[in-house]
Chains A and B, each alone.
Chain A
Amino acid sequence: MSEMLFTAAIARTIAEEMRRDPSVFVMGEDVGVIGGIYGASKGLLEEFGRERIRQTPISEAGFVGAGLGAACTGMRPIVELMYMDFTFVAMDQILNQVAKTRYVFGGKAKIPLVIRGQQGVGGGNAATHSQSVESLFLNIPGLKIAVPSTAADAVGLLRTAIRDDNPVLFFEHKKLYKGGKWEVPDDPEYMIPFGKADIKRQGTDVTVVATQFYVGEALKAAEELAKEGISVEVVDPRTLYPLDIDTICESVKKTGHLVTVHEACAVGGWGSEIESQVMDRVFRYMDAAPIRVGAKQCPLPFNPNLEKAVVPQIPDIVAACKRVLSK
């Protein structure tokens, strides 16, 4: 185990994979000299040179498409988007090309493409640079979606993503970048399979499903609720597609209560999808209707205090758990 920043763990994993496999390369804005504006490709240019660390103009549609083309021809590109909000600039490439190429060519083309970057609030970056957009991609067949909540999970999932022959959208969170140093496993083969949830805290009264930054917030809420004698189980699915619904359902069978928490808007977010799947499967074990905790249906404000008012806070999670328990 080593201690390092979240971004350093990402950069180290990319470097390890590039050493192992010459077909892995990085492409994106400012990924060279600066090492990515958040430092997630720091040091890569020095070791691998401009041929494999390719700096692009501000042209997301172009370089996501170029990544797809490279993937078709046998490379394993890692495309960094400076903000995952910019997926929308490249939406036709992602939705109509990346997600569908393997299918429309009858499986003849593999697409081992990773599109990664950070998202979320915490930077005072306002409405177009602070969104959590992972839910939107859940509605597109053909994409895998990873949403790590710790640097160790990010390392294990990123390696799996790079070695996967299908396109993966890899969402990191701004606030985790700023979360200080993390324990990270040093094994260069450390991998976490997709579709395998992690129970971050065991409990018996209510199941809280959260991802990314909100796993930590849910754990803090659980700590507070424990003082009141409420035992919270925190389940982190780690990937939204594929989704480990079995682990979530087993937890709900035990607790009878479900709360989902994410930073994306509550309306139409992945929390609704999970709640629907849980009710499909284990409705008879439920003691109350599940509750979604998510952002209000509102663009994200620039003002940090207003930003806090829009996205969920720990007291919101605590309140939701109590409400679902009729307490």
Chain B
Amino acid sequence: MAKKVIMPKQGLQMTEGTIMQWLVAEGGTVEKGQPLFEMETDKLTITMDAEASGTLLKIVRPVGDTVPITELIAVIGEPGEDISALLGDAAPAAAAPAESAPAAPAEAPAAAPVAERAPGERIFISPRARMIAEEKGIDYSKIVGTGNDGSIIERDILAYEASQPAVTPLAANVAKANGIDLAGIAGSGANGKITTADLPVSAPAAAEAPAAPAAAETPAQMGRGTRTERMSGMRRAISNNMLASKNTNAQTNHRMSVDMTAAIALRSQYKALGIKVSYNDIIVRACAKALQDMPIINASVDGNNIVYHDYVNVGTAVSVPGGLIVPVIRDADIIGLSGIAAKSTELIEKARDGKLTDSDYHGGTFTVSSLGMFDLDDFVAIINPPESAILAVGKIAKTPVVVTNEDGEDEIAIKSMCNLCLSYDHRIIDGAEAAKFLQKLKNYLQNPVLLI
């Protein structure tokens, strides 16, 4: 009995994936559990295993195709089997539109019903619907609820989303910046998405179609030209995220130099016991304690609200081929130093192997980024939204510092110093609060007995 292979949903937000490579040729045999294809989402590149054994009878969607989740991409079965019934499902998508109407603008979708709510009126919404709305950045205040008690539920958010015109992130930003209402604009992009070319403004359109044409006109220098490469999903996500951060947050930073001598001694003690604890783990632990002391650093901005989190989830930036990802250590305030060490080892391994799942990199409330291993003295990091602060950690270096000895005389001693730089969102965090946070962090790192 032939089995369908469909575009799998990897994580709550995934709506489509791009096939990067088929690892088995059409007609080849596959074993259940054997790697079958590679795909890319806006979050990650991942190898998917076959869910059935047999012969790969048909590859329906070739490399490079971007396919909505659950759509048929291949068929596995026995040689000679009739799979026309299975393929029938995919036929309309493959056959109909291709030739007839190239880039015919899609119809703008019908407007969704709008809820009439008095200002300040309480909105009833299920926890799941709220979570999904927040993840998708949807303002639910105008959405009509169809739950039993009139609450907004998941399907209302999804229906609202479906009723909104599909739009590229850049076009959305341009439209927002220029105050353009997207309703009524027909999209000419892939799947009818509105691109900047569809907007009644001209300037940013050049940004959407970058260097390529210009490069062609530039005479080659000694046979050397330029090369244009499409951004990977991860690069696009990083790019959007970083730009969004710079555009919305009032970012500034404070710096402080911290004596890590005692923290080094603590790490050695763990090492002697055979427990692997990194400096980063110690810093994450210290941050978790300091975040507990100062909830505003652990908070996020949501419109005109400040959202405080009871939990402390600390992300650690990990560089991976083609970009970086920030796996999150959940409940960093309660799992203790050895718990943090174990979790971070696991997450870093998963990150490097490309095995992080959606839940591994969502829900952070604060990020630590360490680049000491590249010999940086210090640096400034960009806040990872919706978080409100990020700590940039430089290298630990033996440094001469002035200390006061037991006789009250100043002398120069050699200490292992580390420079910390806290980037914070000045909209909700005042300068004095950020300074206090660094002061507390310093106290924890210089007196690591407080971390135990």
Which residues of A approach B to under 8 Å, CB–CB? 256, 283-288, 323, 326
* Residues of A close to B151: CB separation below 8 A: 288
CB distance from B209 to the nearest CB of A (A): 39
Contact B153 A326, beta carbon cutoff 8 Å: yes
Give the residue of A283, A285, A288 whose beta carbon is less than 8 angstroms from that of B148.
A288
Whether B147 is near chain A, meaning CB under 8 Å from some CB there, is yes
Whether B131 is near chain A, meaning CB under 8 Å from some CB there, is yes
- Cα of A256 to Cα of B130 in the assembled complex, Å: 12
CB distance from B171 to the nearest CB of A (A): 31
CB distance from A197 to the nearest CB of B (A): 20
Give residues 114-168 of B contacting A (CB, 8 Å): 126-131, 146-148, 151, 153-154
Contact B128 A287, beta carbon cutoff 8 Å: yes
Contact B148 A287, beta carbon cutoff 8 Å: no
A256-B128 in contact given A287-B154, A288-B153 (Cβ < 8 Å): yes
Sample (19) of A-B pairs whose CB atoms are under 8 Å apart: A256-B126, A256-B154, A283-B127, A284-B130, A284-B131, A285-B127, A285-B131, A286-B126, A287-B126, A287-B127, A287-B128, A287-B147, A287-B153, A288-B126, A288-B147, A288-B148, A288-B151, A326-B148, A326-B153
- Cα of A160 to Cα of B201 in the assembled complex, Å: 71
* Residues of B close to A287: CB separation below 8 A: 126-129, 147, 153-154
Contact B146 A286, beta carbon cutoff 8 Å: no
* Residues of B close to A283: CB separation below 8 A: 127
- Cα of A323 to Cα of B149 in the assembled complex, Å: 11
* Residues of B close to A323: CB separation below 8 A: 148
* Residues of A close to B128: CB separation below 8 A: 256, 284-287
Contact A286 B148, beta carbon cutoff 8 Å: no
Contact A284 B153, beta carbon cutoff 8 Å: no
Residue of B nearest to A287 (CB): B128
* Residues of A close to B131: CB separation below 8 A: 284-285
* Residues of A close to B146: CB separation below 8 A: 326
Q: Which 8 A-B pairs have the closest CB atoms?
A: A287-B128, A284-B127, A256-B128, A287-B126, A287-B154, A326-B147, A326-B148, A287-B153
- Cα of A256 to Cα of B157 in the assembled complex, Å: 14
- Cα of A326 to Cα of B152 in the assembled complex, Å: 11
- Cα of A256 to Cα of B147 in the assembled complex, Å: 13
Residue of A nearest to B153 (CB): A287
CB distance from B328 to the nearest CB of A (A): 16
- Cα of A283 to Cα of B310 in the assembled complex, Å: 15
* Residues of A close to B148: CB separation below 8 A: 288, 323, 326
CB distance from A14 to the nearest CB of B (A): 37
If A287-B129, A326-B153 are given as contacts, then 8 extra A-B residue pairs at C-beta distance below 8 Å, sorted by A number, are A256-B154, A284-B127, A285-B128, A286-B126, A287-B153, A287-B154, A288-B126, A288-B153
Residue of A nearest to B147 (CB): A326
* Residues of A close to B129: CB separation below 8 A: 287
* Residues of B close to A326: CB separation below 8 A: 146-148, 153
Residue of A nearest to B148 (CB): A326
- Cα of A284 to Cα of B131 in the assembled complex, Å: 7
CB distance from A15 to the nearest CB of B (A): 37
* Residues of B close to A288: CB separation below 8 A: 126, 147-148, 151, 153
- Cα of A323 to Cα of B130 in the assembled complex, Å: 20
- Cα of A199 to Cα of B153 in the assembled complex, Å: 26
* Residues of B close to A284: CB separation below 8 A: 127-128, 130-131
* Residues of B close to A286: CB separation below 8 A: 126-128
- Cα of A283 to Cα of B128 in the assembled complex, Å: 8
CB distance from A322 to the nearest CB of B (A): 10
- Cα of A249 to Cα of B112 in the assembled complex, Å: 33
- Cα of A285 to Cα of B129 in the assembled complex, Å: 8
CB distance from A205 to the nearest CB of B (A): 10
* Residues of A close to B127: CB separation below 8 A: 283-287
Residue of A nearest to B126 (CB): A287
Residue of B nearest to A279 (CB): B127
B241-258 toward A: CB 8 Å interface, digit per residue (1/0)?
Answer: 000000000000000000
CB distance from A250 to the nearest CB of B (A): 11
- Cα of A256 to Cα of B12 in the assembled complex, Å: 12
CB distance from B210 to the nearest CB of A (A): 39
* Residues of A close to B130: CB separation below 8 A: 284
> Considering residues A256, A286, A326, which has the most beta carbons from chain B within 10 angstroms of its beta carbon?
A326
- Cα of A326 to Cα of B129 in the assembled complex, Å: 14
CB distance from A231 to the nearest CB of B (A): 12
CB distance from A179 to the nearest CB of B (A): 29
- Cα of A268 to Cα of B151 in the assembled complex, Å: 27
* Residues of A close to B154: CB separation below 8 A: 256, 287
Residue of B nearest to A284 (CB): B127
- Cα of A288 to Cα of B152 in the assembled complex, Å: 10
> Considering residues A283, A285, A288, A323, which has the most beta carbons from chain B within 10 angstroms of its beta carbon?
A288
> Considering residues B126, B130, B131, which has the most beta carbons from chain A within 10 angstroms of its beta carbon?
B126
